[in-house]
Structure 1
Amino acid sequence: MTNLIQPMLAPAALDLGDEGFPLAVARLLGSKTPKTLYCQGNLALLGKPAVGFCGSRKASEKGLRVAADCATQLAQSGIVVVSGYAAGVDYAAHKAAFEAGGSTILVLPEGIEHFRIRKTLVQDWDWDRALVISQFPPSAGWKTYRAMERNTLIIALSRAMIVIEAGATGGTLHAGESTLKMGLPLYVVEYGDMANEAPGNAVLIAKGGIRVRKNPQLGVANVEAIRQAASKPLVVSSMQSASLPLAFAT
């Protein structure tokens, strides 16, 4: 039995220059801007404040709880959650956003014809609060370089990024570094045994990432600074990283 369900919504093509094409993507990526974005769902989400989530497919249980906590709080504040569609952090962030009554954007590393709704998301799925997006031809299959380009789009669709758990090497670490090079705010989770679970987090904090810690009084992550960053208009001071590919998230 399959764990995926065919969506009953036809995709739409959004071309660069069309009304509704996310201007922030063009401003951040410059000549690397995708000429067409293939979308299913609520296109209005592209114009709302959004925060991207990045982390491992094999994140620890603590990391998954933190991802869900942050996504829940941001979604309840009206901020759109943006991430890939992999297991681990991506899935935890999307599911938490749905359960909180918020909205989420799922960015694919393949053509949109391959998209299926996971059965574990069906109960909470709402096309008015969801947007599936791909920059690749509709029938394009999964390739490593497409996953790399997909990560760039996640960053460009967001006004700030959160790294949940980054390894000493790999795609999550690279995505965090690329966020900093693009000049976007990078927030990095910090907790007690981080050195064992996520050694790359300390590296990103040392390079300019902003710590995200638990509020001891409330027992949840302190995301107020992230809310404020997501609510500010995007200001692009440089496109120096527009040609830098991101490593495939691991």
Structure 2
Amino acid sequence: MPDMPSAARLEPGRPGYPLGMSRGGKAPILSALGNLALLDTPGLGFCGSRKASEKGIAVTVDCAEQAVQAGFTVISGNAAGVDLAAHRTALAQGGATILVLAEGIDRFRIRQDLRPVWDWSRVLVISQFPPAATWQAYRAMERNAVIIALSRAMIVVEAGETGGTLAAGLRTLQVGKPLFVADYENIEEVAPGNAQLLARGAMRLRRSRETGRANVASLREIAARQTPVQSVLF
């Protein structure tokens, strides 16, 4: 595996800063490792529980596979559970992924589960926090804003009654970005927050009777039509 590359500094208003993040002086300075060209590719954001059910992980893998096949970059938060499954699947399928950290860039280490599929040419690691900043729960909440801003659409797999995944879904709806929420048997038991998001206008992500896989046709169509716009998140 190649050595860790040097970190790049991306400043609002300067060349290379992602258009979806631009919003006057409120947008954060970003630190980045890896392929900066991925910022110019269409991305799909994934958010879900660190303790997702087996069904939730299977749905994540399915959606990430289809996202890669449709030419999207998979964007998520480098946490256990749904995030890790999305990143790993994207790389295993030959696709690209962006990892948005809830800590400083100097704290980043490649997770053991990702090492066999890691390829710096298909990866970008981003942090909005000071380089030495440690992981904090509030930073995990704040980093979700970057995932949303970089994504054409968001996918929520399993959200609890409270917590970061639910907050990310609500924020996605608040800024008017497309939100797709997994809806499958017994979803209320494992992910009660999904029902809250669906009741507020999120689109259902269900299994196709024809293929047996997640029906992402409308998701692909809607995400493909989206264009990078200045985020209202910062």
**How many positions carry a matched residue from both structures?**
234
Matched, 1:11 2:4: no
Q: 1-side partners of 2:19 and 2:166: how far apart?
A: 26
The alignment yields a C-alpha RMSD, in angstroms, of: 1.8
Structure 1: gaps spanning 5 or more residues: 244-250
Matched, 1:23 2:19: yes
Question: Mapping of 1:189-200 within 5 angstroms?
Answer: 189-200=182-193
Q: 2-side partners of 1:235 and 1:109: how far apart?
A: 23
Question: Which residue of structure 1 aligns with residue 51 of structure 2?
Answer: 58
Q: 1-side partners of 2:55 and 2:151: how far apart?
A: 24
Matched, 1:94 2:87: yes
Q: 2-side partners of 1:7 and 1:70: how far apart?
A: 30
Q: 2-side partners of 1:132 and 1:208: how far apart?
A: 31
Does the CA contact (< 8 Å) of 1:183 and 1:236 recur in 2? no
Does the CA contact (< 8 Å) of 1:7 and 1:117 recur in 2? no
Matched, 1:32 2:26: yes
Query: Quick one: structure 1 residues 78 and 236, their matched pair in 2 at CA, closer, same or farther if it must change by over 3 Å?
Result: closer
Q: 2-side partners of 1:157 and 1:61: how far apart?
A: 28
Q: Secondary structure at the match of 2:20?
A: helix
Question: Which residue of structure 2 aligns with residue 80 of structure 1?
Answer: 73
Matched, 1:122 2:115: yes
Question: Which residue of structure 1 aligns with residue 148 of structure 2?
Answer: 155
Structure 2: gaps spanning 5 or more residues: none
TM-score under structure 2 normalisation?
A: 0.94
Q: Greater CA deviation, 225-234 or 56-65? A: 225-234
Q: 2-side partners of 1:141 and 1:7: how far apart?
A: 22
Matched, 1:188 2:181: yes
Q: Secondary structure at the match of 1:234?
A: coil
Q: CA-to-partner distance for each residue in 1:151-171, whole Å, 9 max, x for gaps?
A: 111111111100000111221
Q: Secondary structure at the match of 1:161?
A: strand
Does the CA contact (< 8 Å) of 2:148 and 2:172 recur in 1? yes
Matched, 1:140 2:140: no
Does the CA contact (< 8 Å) of 2:44 and 2:72 recur in 1? yes
Q: Greater CA deviation, 184-193 or 167-176? A: 167-176
Does the CA contact (< 8 Å) of 1:76 and 1:101 recur in 2? no
Q: Tell me which stretches of 4 or more aligned residues in structure 1 moved more than 4 Å.
A: 235-238
Query: Quick one: structure 1 residues 82 and 237, their matched pair in 2 at CA, closer, same or farther if it must change by over 3 Å?
Result: closer
Does the CA contact (< 8 Å) of 1:79 and 1:230 recur in 2? no
Q: CA deviation at 1:68?
A: 0.8
